[in-house]
Amino acid sequence: MVDTAHQNTAVEGVEGGIGVTALLVAAARAIETHRPDSLARDPYAEHFVLAAPPSAKWPLRTEHVPDGDANPLWGRFARYFGLRTRVLDDFLLQSVHTGGARQVVLLGAGLDSRAFRLDWPAGCVIFEMDREGVLAFKHKVLDGIQATPKAARVALPMDLRGDWAAALTDAGFDPAAPTVWLAEGLLFYLPAAAETCLIDTVDRLSAGGSALAYEVKLEKDLLEYRDSPLYTATRDQIGIDLLSLFDGEPRPDSAGDLASRNWTTSIRTPFEFTHRHGRGPLPEQNDALAGNRWVFANKSPS
Ligand code: SAM
Q: DSSP string of 67-102? A: TGGGSIIIIIIHHHHHHHHHHHHHHHHHHHHTS---
pLDDT in tens, the chain (302 residues): 333 344 544 557 888 888 999 999 999 999 999 999 999 999 999 999 999 999 999 999 999 999 999 999 999 999 999 999 999 999 999 999 998 999 999 999 999 999 999 999 999 999 999 999 999 999 999 999 999 999 999 999 999 999 999 999 999 999 999 999 999 999 999 999 999 999 999 999 999 999 999 999 998 888 999 999 999 999 999 999 999 999 999 999 999 999 999 999 999 999 999 999 999 999 999 999 999 999 999 999 97
Q: Is 108 in the pocket of ligand 1 (CB under 6 A)?
A: yes
CA of 111, closest atom in ligand 1: 5
pTM for this model (two decimals): 0.96
pLDDT of residue 80: 98
Q: Ligand 1 pocket check: which of 131, 138, 240 to mutate, most ligand atoms within 8 Å of Cβ? A: 131
Do the strands 103-107 and 179-183 form a parallel or antiparallel pair, or are they unpaired?
A: parallel
Q: Ligand 1 pocket check: which of 18, 84, 242 to mutate, most ligand atoms within 8 Å of Cβ? A: 18
CA of 19, closest atom in ligand 1: 16
pLDDT of residue 183: 98
Do the strands 179-183 and 211-217 form a parallel or antiparallel pair, or are they unpaired?
A: parallel
Nearest to 184 by CA among 95, 67, 91: 91
- Give bridge partners of residue 19 from the DSSP assignment: none
- By the 8 A CB rule, do 7 and 189 touch? yes
CA of 7: how far to CAs of 18, 34, 49, 289, in Å? Answer: 7, 33, 22, 22
- By the 8 A CB rule, do 120 and 96 touch? yes
Element (H, E) at 213: strand 211-217
Q: Ligand 1 pocket check: which of 189, 197, 217 to mutate, most ligand atoms within 8 Å of Cβ? A: 189
Ligand 1 midpoint to CA 302 (Å): 32
What are the structural domains of the chain? 4-299 (3.40.50.150)
- By the 8 A CB rule, do 84 and 270 touch? yes
Q: Is 132 in the pocket of ligand 1 (CB under 6 A)?
A: no
pLDDT of residue 5: 40
Ligand 1 midpoint to CA 181 (Å): 14
Q: Is 21 in the pocket of ligand 1 (CB under 6 A)?
A: yes
Helix (H, G, I), strand (E, B) or coil at 27: helix
CA of 270: how far to CAs of 187, 220, 222, 279, 280, in Å? Answer: 16, 19, 18, 11, 8
